[in-house]
Amino acid sequence: MIKGIGVDIIELKRIEHAIEKNKRFYDRILTEREKEMVKQFTTLHRKVEYTAGRFAAKEAYAKANGTGIGGALSFVDIEILPDENGKPEVYLKGKKCKTAFLSISHSTQFVVAQVVIEES
């Protein structure tokens, strides 16, 4: 049975502007493991795509969970990491969330993420 569904879309330019304006943006949005992954990318465009994907996925998860980002759940409580095949998976406070299913998609201007959470 489905507990919740969340979707989020973000403009790449908005994330690019945030990264260029605020050097602490990564610290606010990404976990340590996610920041290690973003360091591997050599172009700003790829860093923006990656970060925007994580931002949208975390927003979508928080919506599906019914809490939103705020008091009970922060961006760094939610972690999006690839499995061995590159499929993004949700981790909540360091533990794999086996009931959350995530899809992230990119276009030239936008990133969209959708999360479905099943009852455990």
Residue 77 scores a pLDDT above 90: yes
Domains annotated on the chain, with CATH: 2-118 (3.90.470.20)
Determine if the pTM surpasses 0.85.
Answer: yes
Task: Specify burial of residue 44 (Cβ count, 10 A radius: 0-12, 13-18, 19+).
Answer: exposed
CA distance 66 to 32: 25
pLDDT bracket for residue 72 (50, 70, 90): confident
For position 90, what pLDDT does the model report?
97
Residue 120 scores a pLDDT above 90: no
Question: Across the chain, where does the E strand assignment appear?
Answer: 2-11, 78-82, 88-92, 95-96, 100-106, 110-118
- The predicted-structure confidence for 12-54, as pLDDT tens digits, reads as follows 999 999 999 998 999 999 999 999 999 999 999 999 999 999 9
Q: Which sequence positions are flagged as catalytic?
A: 63, 106
Q: What is the CA radius of gyration of the chain?
A: 14
